[in-house]
């Protein structure tokens, strides 16, 4: 098996859980070699075109690449020169060099790339290189994709350092368009980002022909990502205004991303009474319910009780429509350091008959007052 690396996004634990779910769903067997808060390295059989397809699926991975060789304790110019010479097609190569980890923190990017360029030019190989911005060690995905660069990575691993090359980078333009281009948003309450919605959908491991429900659809972020992946989707919200906003965003999605939606149903429905409207069977529920007031560390006791009751009433009803083995991926709110609500819901869901498969995995944007705790339950 070859070795591959995944450069993780801002929520590494959620990113790794998503990778595990997607690889298992694709029946790609693998062995974990190394991980930290930026990198997951695995041994697996993945073709170059598969890497691009995998990255299109993943919300929490920025880059996927292949390990080319184990480097010496100090990365030598000769090692990179050999790789670049093999990669040079038609006597020309445009490349970037990035560093992850502390093992080679004293690496002089400028001197190394200059020496590589000069050596290869002596062999009549035209070379252009791009360095990280001052003060940084990594060349951004935006630069790699826009300039169509071969990116070499110097990465830490279990037994030292490896040299790798990037196979695919995240399509930042598509993600940005779905995040900021849609007509209906809720920025004032900390709207769920599409990448996190995608990770939640992938965590549910929805198979071909299976149906996913989002009963708190809001403006349709989870719904959109599920539809982009080609899933059968039922969506609903107790608010007719939110249902219409979801409809507007899905219509915009169809116009701008040019794909057909054949298995989608949108309803005005109380998430606590799904079984009265949706006749199942449902394979997965992926949702972000009302997270409560956008406060700091404290939440009024009565509001905490109201939220807990909302979640538990919904979970109780969902058992009636989920197939045996059905999954629920749900975001639960933490308020500052307060995780009591999260603990209560998990404990009582388990008492109902759910099993906690993953989580709670925390996600929060900078300066966020509410911390999302993403949980995967199985019935």
CATH number among 3.90.870.40, 3.40.470.10, 3.40.710.10, 3.30.70.1510, domain 2-170: 3.30.70.1510
d(CA 37, CA 7): 9
Average pLDDT over residues 120-135: 80
d(CA 164, CA 211): 39
pLDDT bracket for residue 188 (50, 70, 90): low
CATH 3.30.70.1510 domain position(s) in the chain: 2-170
Name beta bridge partners: 142.
Answer: none
Q: At 128, give phi and psi (nearest 5°).
A: -125, 135
pLDDT digits (tens, 9 = 90+) for 59-94: 999 999 998 877 555 556 677 777 777 776 667 788
pLDDT of 174 above 70: yes
> 150-157 and 92-99: which strand pairing?
parallel
> 160-169 and 61-70: which strand pairing?
antiparallel
Average pLDDT over residues 330-346: 90
pLDDT digits (tens, 9 = 90+) for 311-334: 999 999 999 999 999 999 999 999
Question: What is the crossing angle of helices 240-257 and 172-180, to 10°?
Answer: 150
CB-facing half-sphere around the CA of 157: CA atoms within 13 A: 26
Domain 180-378 CATH superfamily: Vaccinia Virus protein VP39 (3.40.50.150)
């Amino acid at each position: 098996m070859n070795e591959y690396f995944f450069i993780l996004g801002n929520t590494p634990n959620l990113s790794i859980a998503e990778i595990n779910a997607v690889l298992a769903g694709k029946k790609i067997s693998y062995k974990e070699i190394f991980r930290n808060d930026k990198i997951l390295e695995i041994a697996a059989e993945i073709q170059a075109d598969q890497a691009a397809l995998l990255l299109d699926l993943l919300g929490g991975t920025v880059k996927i690449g292949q390990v080319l060789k184990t480097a010496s304790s100090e990365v030598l110019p000769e090692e990179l020169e050999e790789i670049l010479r093999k990669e040079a097609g038609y006597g020309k190569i445009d490349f970037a060099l990035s560093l992850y980890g502390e093992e080679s923190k004293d690496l002089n990017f400028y001197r190394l790339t200059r020496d590589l360029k000069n050596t290869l030019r002596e062999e009549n190989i035209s070379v252009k290189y791009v360095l990280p911005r001052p003060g940084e060690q990594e060349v951004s995905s935006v630069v790699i994709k826009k300039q169509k660069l071969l990116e070499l990575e110097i990465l830490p691993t279990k037994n030292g350092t490896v040299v790798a090359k990037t196979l695919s980078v995240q399509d930042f333009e598509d993600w940005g368009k779905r995040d900021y281009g849609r007509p209906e948003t809720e920025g004032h309450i900390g709207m769920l980002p599409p990448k996190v919605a995608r990770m939640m959908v992938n965590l549910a491991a929805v198979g071909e022909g299976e149906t996913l429900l989002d009963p708190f659809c809001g403006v349709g972020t989870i719904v959109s990502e599920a539809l982009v992946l080609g899933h059968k989707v039922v969506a609903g919200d107790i608010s007719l205004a939110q249902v219409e906003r979801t409809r507007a965003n899905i219509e915009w999605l169809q116009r701008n991303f040019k794909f057909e939606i054949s298995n989608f149903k949108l309803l005005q429905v109380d998430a606590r009474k799904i079984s009265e409207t949706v006749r199942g069977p449902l394979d997965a529920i992926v949702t972000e319910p009302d997270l409560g007031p956008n406060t700091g560390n404290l939440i009024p006791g009565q509001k905490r009780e109201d939220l807990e009751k909302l979640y538990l009433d919904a979970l109780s009803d969902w058992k009636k429509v989920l197939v045996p083995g059905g999954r629920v991926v749900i975001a639960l709110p933490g308020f500052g350091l307060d995780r009591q609500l999260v603990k209560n819901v998990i404990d009582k869901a388990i008492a109902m008959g759910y099993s906690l498969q993953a989580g709670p995995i925390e996600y929060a944007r900078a300066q966020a007052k509410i911390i999302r705790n993403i949980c995967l339950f199985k019935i």
